[in-house]
Amino acid sequence: MKRNIINVRLSANENFYGCSPNVFKAINSQTENISLYPNAPLKLKEVLANKYNISANKLIIGAGSVRIIENLILTFVKDDEEVLIFDNSFVAYKQLCSFHNKKCVMAKLDNGRCDPKKLLPLINKKTKLIFIANPNNPTGTIISHNELESFLSEISPEIIVAIDEAYSEYVFDDNFPDSIKLQEKYKNLIILHSLSKIYGIAGIRVGFGIADEKNIVKMSSKMLPFTLNTIAEAAAIASIEDDNFIENSREKNRINLKYLYENFVKLGLNIFPSQANFIYLWFDSEKEKDCFYNVLAQNNIIICDMKVFGQPNAVRITIGDNKVSRKIICLIKYEFIRNLKS
């Protein structure tokens, strides 16, 4: 009999547990409207405004947060101006700058962290936009409230700082920034969120930004009409409103992240302390990394080989459930480490 081999996909930082079952009901409830153009996403804005206790005028919605990242580049950076990012951070910042012919200046991470102090010497008159992923993808590390605030207090209010919180719902460190509070004080701060991670609707494409009302007006003028479709708005509302599903995903992630982290440390592997739904490991050589990757791939566990992002010695693993986490540690302990020693 032919056996179906199903790959466990741990390569793209999606929610391992899928999405809230309410999302399917919400999608079904909208099928009768699909021949009509979508309305402006006012309902979704209202839900988000209530959730964050802000005015709906401080929100912009996009088909995924990458669309808002692109929008920021188009809105705030002229041809001869510069965008400042970290060199081992979310790859879309650099890709979208290059797509739109904007110069990208890169700061080095500090021990896997987007330490904003590293940005200061690189700021000049041409710097118009800064991206900081918090937690950072791929390292999973965070910067604290105080670090972000002291950076904001030191730079010109003319420079837009986009703090990308795509993974913030997973964070359990109390020092994580209260970015909504900071945004009230620093009008140049723009917060980005994604519904592709803990909310589990990556395939539907929804993201949003929170910014000063004047900046939202500027950004909206560069947004394509009908950017959010009817099904996506309904799915987004259902996923945001299911607190149980979110809390459950967050807690399971916390437990399995801790389990993997502690075991990888015990096994002597190089790893950053992540606060997200993935972890980053690096090896002494590409050969060692390939061996680690292959041990998992041969057992149908597909992780992200960071070679595609120019880091041939590193991998990023999305956190799965108990069963898959235990399987990973077993395979690494008994196959990878044994291969290394032999």
Size of the site for ligand PLP (CB under 6 A): 13
Question: Is the sign of the CA dihedral 95, 97, 99, 102 positive or negative?
Answer: negative
CB closest to ligand PLP, residue no: 64
Per CB under 6 A, contacts with ligand PLP among 223-282 are: none
Pick the binder of ligand PLP from 8, 10, 11, 13 (CB under 6 A). Answer: 13
| Residue 194 engages ligand PLP in binding (rule: CB under 6 A) | yes
Cis-peptide into 273, omega within 30 deg: no
Strands (E) across the chain are located at: 8-10, 59-62, 82-86, 103-107, 127-133, 160-164, 189-194, 207-210, 270-271, 278-282, 301-305, 314-318
- What tokens appear for 49 in the block? 């405004």
The distance of closest approach from Cβ of residue 183 to ligand PLP in the complex, given in angstroms and rounded to an integer, is: 17
Considering only CA atoms, which of 62, 69, 151 is closest in space to residue 104? 69
The distance of closest approach from Cβ of residue 214 to ligand PLP in the complex, given in angstroms and rounded to an integer, is: 24
Identify which of residues 27 and 202 has a Cβ nearer to ligand PLP in the complex.
Answer: 202
The strands making up 59-62's β-sheet, listed across from edge to edge, are 59-62, 207-210, 189-194, 160-164, 127-133, 82-86, 103-107
Cis-peptide into 135, omega within 30 deg: yes
Pick the binder of ligand PLP from 122, 202, 331, 337 (CB under 6 A). Answer: 202
The distance of closest approach from Cβ of residue 64 to ligand PLP in the complex, given in angstroms and rounded to an integer, is: 3
Per CB under 6 A, contacts with ligand PLP among 109-138 are: 133, 137
Which residues, in sequence order, are CB contacts of 217 under 8 Å at separation 6+?
none
The distance of closest approach from Cβ of residue 166 to ligand PLP in the complex, given in angstroms and rounded to an integer, is: 4
CA–CA separation, 258 vs 245, rounded Å?
20
| Residue 90 engages ligand PLP in binding (rule: CB under 6 A) | yes
| Residue 337 engages ligand PLP in binding (rule: CB under 6 A) | no
| Residue 196 engages ligand PLP in binding (rule: CB under 6 A) | yes
- Antiparallel, parallel or unpaired: β 301-305 and 127-133: unpaired
The distance of closest approach from Cβ of residue 266 to ligand PLP in the complex, given in angstroms and rounded to an integer, is: 28
Identify which of residues 71 and 263 has a Cβ nearer to ligand PLP in the complex.
Answer: 71
| Residue 71 engages ligand PLP in binding (rule: CB under 6 A) | no
Per CB under 6 A, contacts with ligand PLP among 154-173 are: 164, 166
- What tokens appear for 28 in the block? 């079904």
| Residue 200 engages ligand PLP in binding (rule: CB under 6 A) | no
- What tokens appear for 288 in the block? 């060692």
Binding site for ligand PLP (CB under 6 A): 13, 64-66, 90, 133, 137, 164, 166, 194, 196, 202, 207
